[in-house]
Structure 1
């Protein structure tokens, strides 16, 4: 409120001592204290009256509603912040065995799906027929254009020199 330092108070006290005199100085300070107390009481009463008027008008309810409306929790921003922080901490190159709980669940699901896929293929017999077809393609001779000679799929340079 007032920016009065210790030196200013000392100067005011010395001037009051000279002007009022040492005999009447305690009475003056008592009167000044009572006056200050009355002013503070009036300020408190005014503040209380303003608070009561604000309560009657519903200002506190409106202020509470505004605080709730701007609350990040009410708006769902706390969940958004959690998701953003999880995304920032996410390391996609990390393996599932490195301790990530979500990664281990993903690895378990992946293994379960691979096992069920293998069981389905075995049950239908497709796996065996596909395996035989791949082996047959790998061992079957391939005709080369121009010579009409049959050569295996994989030939090395030493095979070409001998054949």
Structure 2
């Protein structure tokens, strides 16, 4: 909270010793300690109350939902990225192998490279479609949750 080092505390102690005197100094420190303890207790109580209010409002559930949604995205995208990187490493051009462009091997290598590019494009498109569908589903869930919150009638308080 306060950035007080040893030097600052020493100066405060010397000033307190001069102003208060050595006789009343322990009493002063004891009362300052009590006030600091009370302030820390109030801050802890306030923090606990705010966390409880957030839990009651459903903030924790929403945070967990977002976390699980992003975990799902990471599980989907990481294998796709690693697979495409592996395919990119293996898909080299004919000139990298030093092949004669007219040979059957070179023609097969060129065809295979084209096939790899097509597979990469289709895989990337499917992955993006899946991510879009998950984002759309998440948005629909959030929208329905908001609609439910708005549709709930307010709780009427009985006044006696």
TM-score normalised according to structure 2 size: 0.52
Are residues 25 and 88 of structure 1, via their aligned partners in 2, closer, same or farther at CA, if it must alter by over 3 Å?
farther
Of 76-85 and 32-41, more deviation after overlay is shown by: 76-85
Q: Which runs of 5+ in 1 are unaligned?
A: 95-163
* 1:91 Cα deviation from its structure 2 partner: 5.8
Q: Which runs of 5+ in 2 are unaligned?
A: 98-160
C-alpha RMSD over aligned residues? 2.1
Which structure has more relative contact order (CA 8 Å, sep 6+)? It is 2
Cα distance in 1 between the residues matched to 2:84 and 2:2: 49
2:70 corresponds to which residue?
Answer: 70
* 1:85 Cα deviation from its structure 2 partner: 3.1
Cα distance in 1 between the residues matched to 2:29 and 2:84: 63
Number of residue-to-residue matches in the alignment: 94
Q: In the TM superposition, what are the counterparts of 1:3-152 in structure 2 within 5 Å? A: 3-71=3-71, 73=73, 76-90=76-90, 92=92
Quick check: 1:68–1:74 contact (8 Å CA) kept in 2?
Answer: no
TM-score normalised according to structure 1 size: 0.51
Cα distance in 2 between the residues matched to 1:5 and 1:74: 44
Cα distance in 2 between the residues matched to 1:72 and 1:79: 12
2:105 corresponds to which residue?
Answer: none
